[in-house]
Amino acid sequence: MKLSFFGADQCVTGSCHCLEVNGNRILIDCGLQQGRDETDNHELPFAPNTIDYVLVTHAHIDHTGRIPLLVRQGFHGQIWTTRVTARLMEIMLTDSAHIQQSDAEYENRKNQRAGRPPVEPLYTVEDAERVRGYVHTRKYGVPFELCEGVTVTFTDAGHLLGSASITMDLTENGVSKTVVFSGDIGNLNQPIIRDPVLLTRADYVVMESTYGDRDHTEVWSYTSELAKVIDRTLARGGNVIIPAFAVGRTQEILYFLRRIKQERLVRSVNDFPVYIDSPLASKATTIFCGDLQGYLDDEALALVKDGTDMFSFPGLRLTESLEESKMLNMDRTPKVIISASGMCDAGRVRHHLKHNLWREECSVVFVGYQGEGTLGRMLLEGAEHVKLFGEDVSVQAEIVNFKGLSSHADRKHLLEWAQSFENPTHYFIVHGDREVAPYFAASLEKLGLSAHAPQYTEVYDLAANRQLERGYLPERKVKISSAYQRLVAVGKLLQEVIHRSRGRANKDLARFADQIKQLIDKWEA
pLDDT-based confidence at residue 525 (cuts at 50, 70, 90): low
Q: What is the pLDDT of residues 462-506, one digit of tens each?
A: 999 999 999 998 876 655 555 666 677 778 788 888 888 888 888
3-state secondary structure of 77: coil
Sign of the alpha-carbon torsion through 85, 88, 91, 93: negative
Other CB atoms within 10 Å distance of the CB of residue 485:
11
Quote the CA–CA distance of 123 and 115 in Å, as a whole number: 24
Quote the CA–CA distance of 109 and 118 in Å, as a whole number: 9
Q: How far is CA 489 from CA 72, 114, 263, in A?
A: 40, 17, 55
Q: What is the Rg, in whole angstroms, of the alpha carbon atoms belonging to the chain?
A: 25
- Residue 2's φ and ψ, nearest 5 degrees, are -115, 145
Q: What is the pLDDT of residues 167-190, one digit of tens each?
A: 999 999 999 999 999 999 998 888
* The pLDDT value given to residue 31: 94
Q: Alpha helix (H) ranges present in 405-505?
A: 411-418, 436-446, 482-500
DSSP code at position 235: H
pLDDT-based confidence at residue 73 (cuts at 50, 70, 90): very high
Beta strands in 332-458 (DSSP E): 336-339, 363-366, 385-388, 391-394, 398-401, 426-430, 451-452
Residue 315 has pLDDT above 80, yes or no: yes
Residue 307 has pLDDT above 70, yes or no: no
Quote the CA–CA distance of 226 and 203 in Å, as a whole number: 43
Q: What is the pLDDT of residues 220-250, one digit of tens each?
A: 567 888 999 999 999 999 999 999 877 778 8
Q: Region 111-140: what's the mean pLDDT?
A: 93
C-beta separation of 34 from 64 below 8 A: no
Beta strands in 10-132 (DSSP E): 17-21, 24-28, 53-55, 78-81
Q: What is the pLDDT of residues 338-380, one digit of tens each?
A: 987 778 877 789 999 999 999 999 999 998 778 777 898 999 9
Q: Alpha helix (H) ranges present in 115-221?
A: 125-131
C-beta separation of 201 from 423 below 8 A: no
Beta strands in 104-244 (DSSP E): 135-137, 144-147, 150-156, 164-172, 175-181, 204-208, 240-243
Q: What is the pLDDT of residues 421-464, one digit of tens each?
A: 999 999 999 999 999 999 999 999 999 999 999 999 999 999 99
Run of H or E including 512: helix 506-524
